[in-house]
């Protein structure tokens, strides 16, 4: 009997709190923040098949590439103490040179320009 009363009390209290939160909350069904476009320019209420800016996609990919670059370079600095200095220097040089050449290519092909 005590378990039944405890579960009924818990249900009534939780339903009461949910009802009070719904009444008290300031949100509307057409919330202004939900109706604004996302950062990438998509309108959340329109069709998903509308073409989007390829420039935004390219900038996002560049950000991911350089984010991964940082995640790889931090352990390289830590392993410098425990590895052979010539092997470490050659590996680091090849890695950084590849990244700089990629950045140079992106710069020369105007992939970093937001508007043309």
Model confidence, pTM: 0.47
If pLDDT is split at 50, 70 and 90, which confidence band does 72 have?
confident
Residues 12-69: tens digit of each pLDDT: 999 999 998 888 876 655 666 666 655 555 555 656 566 667 777 777 887 888 788 8
**Which residue carries 């939160």 as its tokens?**
21
Residues in contact with 51: Cβ distance below 8 Å, sequence separation at least 6, in sequence order? none
Number of structural domains (the chain) is: 1
Is position 114 within any domain? no
Is position 7 within any domain? yes
Is position 83 within any domain? yes
Is position 91 within any domain? yes
67-76, 89-98, 101-110, range with greatest mean pLDDT? 89-98
Is position 22 within any domain? yes
Could you tell me which of 10, 111, 69, 53 has the C-alpha nearest to residue 77?
Answer: 69
Please tell me the distance from the alpha carbon of residue 45 to that of residue 29, in angstroms, as a whole number.
13
Domain hosting residue 38, numbered range: 2-108
């Amino acid at each position: 009997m005590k378990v039944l009363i405890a579960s009924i009390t818990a249900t009534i209290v939780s339903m009461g709190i949910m009802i009070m939160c719904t009444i008290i909350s300031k949100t509307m069904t057409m919330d202004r923040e939900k109706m604004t476009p996302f950062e990438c320019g998509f309108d959340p209420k329109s069709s998903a098949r509308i073409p989007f800016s390829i420039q935004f996609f390219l900038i996002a990919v560049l950000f991911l590439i350089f984010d991964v670059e940082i995640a790889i370079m931090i352990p390289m600095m830590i392993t410098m103490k425990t590895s052979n200095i010539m092997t470490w220097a050659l590996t680091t040089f090849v890695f950084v040179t590849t990244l700089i050449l990629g950045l140079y290519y992106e710069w020369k092909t105007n992939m970093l320009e937001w508007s043309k």
